[in-house]
Amino acid sequence: MKKLLTITFFTLVSVYGYSQTQTIDSLKEVIEKHDGKLTALDERVLVNEADLSKLNKIKISGYIQSQWELYDKNRVVTNEPTNTFYLRRVRVKFTYEALDGVKFVLQPDFSTGALALKDAYAVVNIPKFKDWTLWAGQMNRPNYEVEYSSSQREVLERSRVIRAIYPGEREIGLKLEYIGSKIPLKFQLMAMNGNFTGTQAKDVDSEKDIMARLVYSVKLPDAGIGIDFGGNTYMGSNKAKINPYVSNSDGTLDSVNIGHNLDKKWFGGEVQIFADVLGGMAIKGEYIAGTNSVASTTAAPASNASTATKLGAANKLNSFAGYYLYLIKNIGTKNQLVARYDYYDPNTKLSGDAAGSAVSCKTLTVSWQHYLNDFIRITVNYEMPKFEVNASRPANYMDVTYGNTLGVRIQAKF
């Protein structure tokens, strides 16, 4: 009997031990299976966190400018429309900060019928020189009114001289920029193709144009005044590729070799004054003068052709001058009154009938801006150009480009 009890006891212990072993093994298998699932989930979470980290480095901004324009009633004689609705600008800007001191910018324009790439560049802080950055790609030329965003500008369009010498505002090239952290100095130096029209991807000749701008800031806190003043220069050329004749500013005709470089050189001075007076006001201005050129796309006429025929087809080399002056006054916290006077003479050597269509123009622009909130701005703008009168542009000359224009813009910015 005792022996039987002993055998029974050990049998039960063995069965229980085997059962427990089986239970532990099963539990271990289940735990390992779940542990594998948790590991995979953890890996997915890490991937998602990495993706979110990249997304957090992307900043999206932009603006839409919906505009209505009413043109001078005298334009009806040219059979042009007297008013229109249109989208002036539709911009979306993507900024990606990959690392501290490394930034990429992409900005297309989706305006109706004018889809275009406006900005595409990279900005890198130069190691060991924290105040210096290197820019590469398609970007604004270094000029105050050019770089001043159209979403912030106090009138609807840039001044006439800036539109003439910096068409499209952008260029493709390299820019070195210094913004002092210890001294209030800004310096920009840019090398670029010099003939960008917004369509061609590469340079059309071997020459590169150079721009430089230097601005120094002065603050007078007791007087509530800040002043930025500086100078800028443009040193470049256009190549006479297919026409050896050059029409000079004074109307004379010269002959050059094919491949000759035609000067594009000018200098400018600028000032911006900001005063904390009666709610805030600003005075901003710039003067630019020099020589501009346009390369002919017309083959040279026969050598026995008339001088007038040669002048009409020749490369152009003109002395020019221009300036603009803004007066900006805040009215309360939501309104702003603006007046701008600008002047542009595309050919300072000739005037009257001798200047032909290249006559000077004085333009007075007045603007009222109302900030509905941080995102919506309403602008009422009236532009009054006055051209020098001659046979080409009589006193009553009006067309869709040169008449008085009333513009109303609603800008939505995000």
The pLDDT of residue 3 is above 60: no
What is the predicted pLDDT for the residue at 311?
A: 86
Confidence class for position 278, pLDDT limits 50, 70, 90: confident
Task: Say which range, 9-18, 149-158, 174-183, has the weakest mean pLDDT.
Answer: 9-18
Cβ atoms 274, 218 nearer than 8 A? no
Task: Say which range, 24-38, 40-54, 104-118, 182-196, has the weakest mean pLDDT.
Answer: 24-38
What is the predicted pLDDT for the residue at 130?
A: 85
Q: Using CA atoms, how far apart are residues 241 and 205, in angstroms rounded to an integer?
A: 9
The pLDDT of residue 404 is above 60: yes
Phi, then psi, of 234 in degrees rounded to 5: -130, 125
What is the predicted pLDDT for the residue at 12?
A: 44
Q: Using CA atoms, how far apart are residues 408 and 156, in angstroms rounded to an integer?
A: 9
In angstroms, the Cα distances linking 153 to 180, 260, 379, 411 are 25, 39, 11, 12
The pLDDT of residue 384 is above 60: yes
Q: Using CA atoms, how far apart are residues 216 and 230, in angstroms rounded to an integer?
A: 6
What is the pLDDT averaged over residues 60-82? Answer: 82
Phi, then psi, of 276 in degrees rounded to 5: -85, 75
**Cβ-proximal residues to 124 (8 Å cutoff; 6+ apart), any chain:** 101, 102, 103, 133, 134, 136
What is the pLDDT averaged over residues 221-229? Answer: 94
Give me the count of residues in the chain.
414
What is the predicted pLDDT for the residue at 32?
A: 53
pLDDT greater at residue 267 or residue 49: 267
What is the predicted pLDDT for the residue at 332?
A: 92
For residue range 161-215, list pLDDT tens digits in order: 999 999 989 999 999 999 999 999 999 999 999 888 777 678 888 889 999 999 9
In percent, the amount of the chain with pLDDT more than 70 equals 82
**Cβ-proximal residues to 52 (8 Å cutoff; 6+ apart), any chain:** none
What is the predicted pLDDT for the residue at 50?
A: 58
The pLDDT of residue 14 is above 70: no
Q: Which of 254, 253, 252, 322 is nearest to 292 (CA)?
A: 322
Q: What angle do CA 381, 61, 112 make, to 5 degrees?
A: 55
For residue range 118-143, list pLDDT tens digits in order: 999 999 999 888 899 999 999 999 99
